[in-house]
């Protein structure tokens, strides 16, 4: 019954958006297609279109389907919204197509469509040079690729005083003597419990690193996001205290939980972003991250964050220890991170989307 209800709700959403799409054809120049789930891809579309509209650059909106759209720029916000394992979705030829492809998963069956994408897509956007280079290696025309990093919303992510941090920990019933390590993502397969790990997100690496740190420090883990079952089970097995907030219906609420953290770990194997690198820096939290996605593009190791090789648990632990034990280093990372992240506000990033992508198509 639950699945049937979800299917019916999504069907109603699609039908509603098709109607809105038809009505938008004479009013908007850009329709940004998001995934149905209220998660990362949708928030990208919301902030990009919101800031483009605010700056009067284009008339833009979000939608969950391309059906009904004519004579517009259609920006598919993820590979999932445009290409399935079986086919590339049909789009009316009056539209100009932009596709965002964040990361390449090994053996992704959609790779076989790259030569066809060369013909059907005007621009392929990605957030990092790692993905750009991989797309070129797989045969995508280099001149079609535009690299623009993800953005962050400064009004949602900002530092707080030590007093405010302690109050938030108390609200969450986190002991004040604990070192709180954060992990805010979706790292389980599917949208239910997530007991099967999504290995590209490195949940097994995260658990191993936290387990080693917990032998020497009073560690407490704060989890936010859906499908965290694998990490929850593994932390319980190891006797590591944690609190799992789960899926937030409103993305805006995540900023509060960063304020409870002392350290953030990004242990992914593959990423397009991750957004958490920006959100963490904007919140004044030191971070240790693997060299994934856009992290090497925007971070200098030892300046804004500490970087490690992918899957190197010992290196992750070692660098986390440096932050825990060295207050001077911690403050340096926080201060540099706060300065660096100012370049990545969604207001500034949305203008890059306009200048590097959408401006090309204003004569449609």
Q: In 3D, which of 57, 107, 56, 108 has the Cα closest to residue 79? A: 108
Residues sharing a CB contact under 8 Å with residue 155, sequence separation 6 or more, in sequence order:
none
Question: What pLDDT is stored for residue 270 in this prediction?
Answer: 96
pLDDT exceeds 50 at position 1 = no
Residue 190: per-residue pLDDT: 87
The domains located in the chain, with CATH, are: 2-151+346-361 (3.40.50), 162-344 (3.40.50.2000)
Contact status, residue 93 vs residue 119, Cβ threshold 8 Å: no
User: Which of 200, 193, 199, 196 lies closest to 225 in space, CA to CA?
Assistant: 193
DSSP for 217-280, written as a single string: S-EEEEEESS--HHHHHHHHHTT--EEE----SSGGGGHHHHTT-SEEEE--SS-S--HHHHHH
Q: State the pLDDT at residue 106.
A: 86
Check: CB of residue 189 under 8 Å from CB of residue 227. Answer: yes
Q: Can you give the pLDDT at residue 251?
A: 76
Per DSSP, 31 falls in state E
Q: What is the DSSP string of 181-229?
A: EEEES--BSSSS---SB-GGG-HHHHHHHHHHHHTTS-EEEEEESS--H
What percent of the chain clears pLDDT 90, i.e. is strictly above it?
88
Q: Where are the beta strands (DSSP E) in the chain?
A: 30-33, 60-63, 73-76, 96-100, 123-126, 145-147, 179-184, 219-224, 242-244, 263-266, 287-290, 306-308
What tokens does 81 get?
A: 């919204």
pLDDT band at 3 (very low <50, low <70, confident <90, very high): low
Q: Does the structure show a pLDDT above 50 at 177?
A: yes
In the chain, what percentage of residues exceed pLDDT 70? Answer: 97
Residue 363 near residue 72, CB atoms below 8 Å: no
- The pLDDT tens digits for 303-334 are 999 999 999 999 999 999 999 999 999 999 99
Q: Is the pLDDT of residue 5 over 80?
A: no
Q: Tell me how crowded residue 331 is: count the other CB atoms within 10 A of its CB.
A: 12
Tens digits of residue pLDDT in 63-94: 999 999 999 999 999 999 999 999 999 999 99
pLDDT score for 4: 58
- Place 268 in a pLDDT band, splitting at 50, 70 and 90: very high
CA distance 70 to 84: 22
Q: Which two tokens stand for residue 35?
A: 């995934």
| CA–CA distance, 223 with 243 (Å, rounded to integer) | 6
Show Cβ contacts of residue 133 under 8 Å, excluding neighbours closer than 6 positions.
none
For residue 261, is pLDDT > 90? yes
- pLDDT confidence tier of residue 249, bands split at 50, 70 and 90: confident
pLDDT band of 2, cuts 50, 70, 90: low
Kindly state the DSSP code that residue 291 receives in the 8-state scheme: S
The pLDDT value given to residue 38: 77
For 80-130, write each residue's pLDDT tens digit: 999 999 999 999 999 999 999 999 988 899 999 999 999 999 999 999 999
- 289: closest CA among 165, 193, 275, 124? 275
């Amino acid at each position: 019954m639950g699945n049937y209800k979800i299917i019916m709700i999504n069907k109603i959403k699609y039908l509603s958006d098709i109607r809105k799409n038809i009505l938008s054809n004479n009013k908007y120049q850009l329709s940004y297609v998001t995934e149905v789930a209220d998660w990362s891809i949708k928030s990208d579309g919301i902030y990009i279109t919101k800031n483009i509209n605010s700056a009067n650059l284009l008339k833009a909106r979000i939608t969950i389907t391309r059906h009904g759209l004519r004579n517009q720029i259609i920006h598919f916000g993820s590979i999932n919204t445009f290409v399935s394992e079986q086919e590339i979705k049909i789009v009316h030829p009056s539209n100009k197509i932009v596709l965002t492809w964040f990361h390449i998963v090994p053996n992704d069956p959609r790779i076989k469509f790259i030569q066809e994408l060369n013909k059907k897509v005007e621009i392929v956007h990605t957030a990092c040079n790692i993905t750009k280079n991989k797309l070129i290696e797989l045969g995508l025309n280099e001149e079609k690729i535009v690299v623009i990093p993800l953005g962050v919303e400064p009004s949602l992510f900002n530092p707080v005083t030590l007093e405010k941090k302690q109050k938030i920990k108390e609200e969450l019933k986190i002991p004040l003597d604990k070192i709180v390590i954060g992990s805010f993502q979706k790292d389980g397969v599917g949208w239910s419990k997530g007991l099967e790990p999504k290995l590209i997100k490195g949940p097994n690496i995260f658990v191993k690193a936290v387990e080693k740190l917990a032998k020497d420090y009073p560690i407490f883990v704060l989890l936010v996001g859906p499908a965290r079952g694998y990490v929850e089970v593994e932390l319980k097995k190891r006797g590591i205290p944690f609190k799992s907030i789960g899926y937030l219906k409103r993305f805006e609420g995540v900023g509060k939980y960063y304020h409870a953290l002392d350290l953030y770990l990004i242990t992914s194997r593959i990423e397009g972003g991750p957004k958490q690198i920006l959100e963490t820096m904007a919140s004044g939290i030191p971070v240790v991250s693997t060299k994934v996605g856009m992290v090497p593009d925007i971070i200098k190791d030892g300046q804004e964050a500490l970087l490690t090789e992918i899957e190197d648990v010992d290196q992750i632990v070692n660098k986390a220890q440096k932050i825990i034990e060295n207050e001077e280093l911690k403050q340096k990372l926080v201060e540099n991170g706060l300065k660096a992240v100012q370049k990545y506000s969604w207001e500034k990033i949305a203008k890059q989307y306009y200048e590097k992508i959408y401006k090309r198509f204003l004569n449609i």
